[in-house]
């Protein structure tokens, strides 16, 4: 049995590791990826200076050797032929497969604006782009100035990158085409909290405006001309104006696509021996019947594990992904889950402008089908409540009398979470029908930096 995996992101690496957990090395596995195996969501930590580049890598040659996986890094798959069970590589070779996994992720979209290809104008999507942005900023700092950065696009990825740059203490400005920031994640009231918060951080936000052009100026800076006639000056421009799934590879192959590659609850495409996972897959969702693309790390990990188990011959069905967005907007935590924008749904809302606190729970009968939360991490319960709301939704727990309790006491999530039995249900839930195993990969065989604290150790029995 030969499994070929295209990609090296979380969907691909989790699939490979799951295949090995189930088959113990009995199959042949080949992984082809044009980039090193790494996690894009770690890039902002590198950008912020919290980790070295090496810690964005999620596997190395020794790790793949231990898993008995043949790797072809720096190589692209250029064609897929499901009936003939073969893929063509950019180095002219072909690989035959029994099972194929397509985990090619997504790519940033550059807006069609003059100047988006100038040096110093970058999406922040890859290791190479992150390295370039850091080098541009270092050159400005070496000249004795604070780097000025204009961020174009204040969606989920844009705000994560903004937070990293804020930690660097760079001088920032944001341009967002829509009427408010995080338009596909927060309603207008929650976004207003975040925008007032950013004003306190001295970060100007230009909402409802587009970029007309980006011009190189004689002093090395860039002018960003906006639709209202205003012009911003920056050393670096970061583009965060949306992404699209990398589906071109399968066009003409017969594999069914919609927005992305359509998969069933076993991650199989329209060819049962061809699987897809992660950002490139359009799969089952919780709280909805239509398949959707949820381009986030947890979905990529779950997809990869479900695909891996099925490729290894086990029937594992995926219950569906949950839209979940959690962003630290320069100190204000902003979160949304599920059908947070369900306009006609019954809702329970708290809105405290002065305290920067916002909570909105959306109901479908006595279950929570969507939620928005905003607040400071240090506020009582903010972070633990986020996890508990997610748990209530993932288990689709019927709250019964606890619904009225939460409507009367929207801050007391904990009591409803325990009382409704959600915690107990969650503790018994597994994705693959058995407990997950720790990855045990450490880059460069490094030990974990932080020892388990005494407070944490209470929760873990030593084996
Ligand atoms: C800056 C940033 C921050 C993020 N932060 C978060 C976060 O906080 N939380 C969250 O949930 N998500 C976050 N994400 C999104 C998350 O990283 C993605 O959802 C996740 O990486 C998707 O995983 P994947 O395995 O599907 O694809 P990817 O991680 O994109 O991996 C796909 C790999 O396949 C390679 N490839 C593509 N085509 C081919 C081909 N034809 N041949 C060979 N190789 C190919 C690609 O180059 C890439 O290396 C962030 C993303 C970015 C960019």
- pLDDT, tens only, 18-28: 999 999 999 99
Q: Contact, 301 vs 323, CB < 8 A? A: no
> What spacing in Å lies between the alpha carbon of 165 and ligand 1's midpoint?
20
In terms of DSSP H, where are the helices of 395-448?
A: 401-408, 413-419, 422-427
* Structure confidence at residue 458 (pLDDT): 61
What's the mean pLDDT in 261-271?
98
Q: Contact, 235 vs 209, CB < 8 A? A: no
> 425 or 2: whose pLDDT is higher?
2
41 lines ligand 1 (CB under 6 A): yes
327 lines ligand 1 (CB under 6 A): no
> What spacing in Å lies between the alpha carbon of 43 and ligand 1's midpoint?
11
Helices then strands, counting H and E runs in the chain, come out as: 12, 25
| CATH assignment, 331-427 | 3.30.390.30
What's the mean pLDDT in 271-298?
94
* Structure confidence at residue 260 (pLDDT): 98
> What spacing in Å lies between the alpha carbon of 56 and ligand 1's midpoint?
12
**Tokens encoding 400:** 């019964």
pTM of the complete model beyond 0.85:
yes
pLDDT of 463 strictly over 50: no
* Torsion angle of the four alpha carbons 347, 352, 357, 362, in this order, in degrees rounded to the nearest 10: 0
Residue 125 CA: nearest ligand 1 atom is: 53
DSSP 38: B
Q: What is the CA radius of gyration of the chain?
A: 23
Residue 435, Ramachandran bin (φ over 0: left; ψ between -120 and 50: alpha; else beta): beta
The structural domains of the chain, with segments of one domain joined by +, span 2-107+244-311, 121-241, 331-427
pLDDT of 459 strictly over 60: no
Banded pLDDT at 447 (limits 50, 70, 90):
low
pLDDT of 174 strictly over 50: yes
The kind and range of the H/E element at 155 are none
- pLDDT, tens only, 40-70: 999 999 999 999 999 999 999 999 999 999 9
Give residue for tokens 């100038």. Answer: 118
| Cα–Cα distance, 224 to 233 (Å, whole number) | 6
What's the mean pLDDT in 425-446?
83
| CATH assignment, 121-241 | 3.50.50.60
246 lines ligand 1 (CB under 6 A): yes
126 lines ligand 1 (CB under 6 A): no
Q: Going by CA atoms, what residue is nearest to atom 13 of ligand 1?
A: 41
* Structure confidence at residue 282 (pLDDT): 98
pLDDT of 461 strictly over 90: no
- pLDDT, tens only, 319-370: 999 989 999 999 999 999 999 988 767 999 999 999 999 999 999 999 999 9
How far lies 407's CA from each of 360, 363, 404, in Å?
10, 10, 5
> What spacing in Å lies between the alpha carbon of 128 and ligand 1's midpoint?
14
Q: What is the mean pLDDT of the chain?
A: 94
**Tokens encoding 240:** 């965060």
Quick check: do 121-241 and 331-427 share a fold?
no
Q: Which CATH class is domain 2-107+244-311?
A: alpha beta
């Amino acid at each position: 049995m030969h499994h070929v995996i295209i990609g090296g992101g979380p969907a691909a690496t989790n699939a490979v590791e799951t295949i090995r957990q189930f088959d113990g090395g009995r199959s042949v596995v080949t992984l082809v990826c044009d980039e090193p195996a790494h996690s894009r969501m770690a890039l902002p930590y590198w950008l912020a200076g919290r980790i070295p580049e090496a810690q964005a890598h999620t596997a190395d040659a020794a790790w793949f050797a231990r898993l008995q996986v043949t790797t072809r890094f720096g190589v692209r798959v250029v064609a897929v032929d499901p009936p003939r069970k073969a893929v063509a590589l950019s180095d002219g070779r072909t690989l035959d497969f029994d099972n194929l996994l397509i985990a090619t992720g997504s790519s940033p979209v550059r807006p069609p604006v003059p100047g988006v290809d100038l040096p110093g104008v970058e999406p922040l999507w890859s290791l190479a782009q992150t390295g370039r942005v850091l080098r541009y900023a270092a050159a400005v700092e070496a000249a004795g100035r604070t780097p000025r950065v204009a961020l174009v696009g204040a969606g989920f990825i844009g705000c994560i990158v903004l937070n990293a740059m804020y930690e660097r203490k760079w001088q920032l400005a944001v341009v967002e085409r829509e009427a408010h920031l995080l338009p596909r994640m927060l309603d207008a009231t929650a976004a207003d909290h975040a925008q007032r918060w950013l004003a306190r951080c001295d970060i100007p936000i230009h909402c409802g405006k587009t970029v007309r052009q980006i011009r190189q100026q004689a002093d090395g800076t860039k002018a960003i001309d906006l639709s209202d006639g205003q012009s911003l000056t920056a050393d670096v421009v970061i583009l965060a104006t949306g992404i699209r799934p990398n589906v071109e590879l399968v066009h003409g192959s017969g594999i069914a696509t919609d927005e992305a590659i359509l998969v069933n609850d076993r991650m199989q495409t329209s060819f049962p021996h061809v699987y897809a996972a992660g950002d490139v897959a359009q799969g089952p969702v919780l709280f909805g019947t239509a398949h959707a693309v949820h381009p986030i790390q947890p979905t990529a990990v779950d997809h990869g594990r479900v695909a891996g188990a099925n490729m290894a011959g086990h029937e594992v069905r995926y219950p569906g992904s949950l839209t979940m967005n959690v962003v630290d907007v320069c100190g204000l935590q902003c979160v949304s889950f599920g059908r947070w924008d369900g306009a006609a749904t019954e809702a329970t809302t708290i809105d405290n402008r002065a305290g920067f606190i916002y909570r909105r729970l959306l109901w479908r009968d006595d279950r929570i089908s969507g939620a928005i939360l905003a607040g400071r991490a240090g506020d009582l319960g903010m972070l633990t409540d986020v996890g508990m709301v997610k748990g209530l939704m993932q288990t689709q727990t019927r709250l019964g009398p606890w619904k009225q309790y939460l409507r009367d006491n929207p801050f007391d999530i904990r009591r409803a979470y325990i009382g409704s039995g959600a915690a107990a249900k969650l503790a018994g839930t597994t994705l693959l029908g058995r407990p997950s195993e720790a990855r045990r990969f450490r880059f460069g065989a490094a030990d974990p930096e932080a020892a388990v604290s005494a407070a944490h150790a209470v929760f873990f029995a030593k084996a």
